[in-house]
């Protein structure tokens, strides 16, 4: 979710669900140790609970970055062993780490020795054409011995050659049964499933077999789906009572961005799916995406977008001409 789940995106998602654990985009250890730490790590207190997702392989660097995560107030630090991109492979981390479980275990141990917050691992069920269950079982077993108790498992192999990251999310077949088998074999561990989940009913089905479900791009593109999660999966009332109310709460945030000197379009791009599936949603998105309006105040653009949405809604409600 690089360039997707930044602090603006996470704030917007928190207007829809209060209890879902949110994850940052993957941040490399090098970016934190040698770059602008505040730019990568600062977040709004309203985003919690939130986990920092790390990309890296050197145990000492991972430990140092885990300390930064704890100092900044993150609730969890997650090691990414699932990203298949060539750029990540050149850095010797991501999905290729599944072929080095000992190194992952060393990294997990170093982080656990350095911090008190949970250290978790996200990974695939295999790499390239290695489709044996024993491969992922042994990976989880060895990393668990180092103290990791939570594994988020993308239920596809990562093909490290010949496929783009997008293709790696679509072409290797989903094998949920392997993730279910992991949970059965490691009942003491927390096993969450990731990959291909679209609907709330599908989430509920998976929760009969595993401890959690991670939803990525589906939640990003159809954010209103998250508005039902607190009540359905936690039995608690969520913060989102209507799209109009969420939009108003989001306007307050955009006003904060402007007051802090941050361009509001950088944040607004994450909320363009709010009205998806409703009459007028396309016109609403078009107004907010109009570059000619990027220097206007958010409230001005909101008024224009709402006017366009309601006009489209009224037109859709007109009886068809005889």
The answer to whether residues 88 and 204 belong to one domain is yes
Confidence category of residue 293, pLDDT binned at 50, 70, 90: very high
Retrieve residue 290's tokens: 């109009």
User: For residue 77, what are the contacts with CB-CB under 8 A and spacing of at least 6?
Assistant: 51, 52, 54, 65, 66, 69, 70, 111, 115, 117, 118, 119, 120
Are residues 264 and 229 both part of a single domain?
no
Domain annotation covers residue 2? no
Residue with tokens 């007109």: 318
Query: In which band, very low, low, confident or very high, does the pLDDT at 89 lie, cut at 50, 70 and 90?
Result: low
Claim to verify: residue 201 and residue 251 sit in the same structural domain:
no
Q: Is residue 106 part of a domain?
A: yes
pTM above 0.85, yes or no: yes
How high does pLDDT run on average in the chain? 94
The Cα 237–Cα 250 span in angstroms is 19
In a domain, 200, yes or no: yes
Band of residue 181 on the pLDDT scale cut at 50, 70, 90: very high
Higher pLDDT, 178 or 88: 178
Q: Which residues are catalytic?
A: 83
Q: Is 159:119 a contact under the CB 8 Å cutoff?
A: no
Domain limits for position 283: 243-316
| Strand ranges inside the chain, DSSP E | 22-23, 27-28, 50-55, 76-81, 119-127, 150-158, 190-194, 212-214
């Amino acid at each position: 979710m690089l360039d997707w789940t930044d602090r603006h995106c996470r704030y917007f998602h928190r207007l829809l669900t209060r209890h879902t654990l949110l994850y940052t985009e993957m941040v490399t250890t090098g970016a934190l140790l040698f770059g602008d730490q505040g730019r990568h790590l600062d977040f709004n207190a309203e985003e919690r609970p939130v986990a920092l997702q790390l990309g890296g392989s050197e145990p000492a660097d991972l430990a140092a970055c885990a300390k930064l995560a704890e100092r900044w107030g993150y609730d969890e630090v997650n090691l990414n062993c699932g990203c298949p991109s060539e750029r990540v492979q050149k850095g010797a981390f991501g999905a290729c780490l599944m072929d080095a479980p000992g190194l992952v275990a060393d990294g997990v141990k170093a982080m656990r020795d350095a911090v008190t917050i949970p250290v978790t691992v996200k990974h695939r069920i295999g790499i390239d054409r290695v489709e044996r269950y024993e491969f992922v079982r042994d990976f989880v077993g060895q990393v668990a011995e180092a103290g990791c108790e939570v594994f988020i498992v993308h239920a596809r192999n990562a093909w490290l050659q010949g496929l783009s990251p997008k293709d790696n999310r679509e072409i290797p077949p989903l094998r949920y049964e392997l993730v279910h088998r992991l949970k059965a074999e490691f009942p003491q561990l927390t096993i969450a499933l990731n990959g291909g989940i679209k609907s709330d009913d599908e989430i509920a089905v998976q929760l009969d077999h595993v401890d959690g479900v991670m939803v990525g791009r589906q939640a990003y593109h159809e954010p209103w789906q998250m508005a039902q999660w607190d009540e359905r999966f936690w039995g608690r009332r969520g913060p989102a009572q209507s799209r109009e109310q969420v939009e108003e709460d989001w306007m307050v945030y955009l006003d904060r961005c402007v007051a802090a000197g941050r361009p509001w379009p950088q944040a607004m791009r994450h909320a363009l799916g709010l009205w998806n599936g409703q009459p007028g949603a396309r016109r609403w998105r078009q107004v907010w995406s109009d570059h000619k309006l990027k220097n206007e105040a958010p409230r001005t653009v909101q008024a224009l977008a709402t006017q366009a949405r309601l006009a489209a809604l009224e037109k859709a409600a007109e009886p068809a001409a005889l």
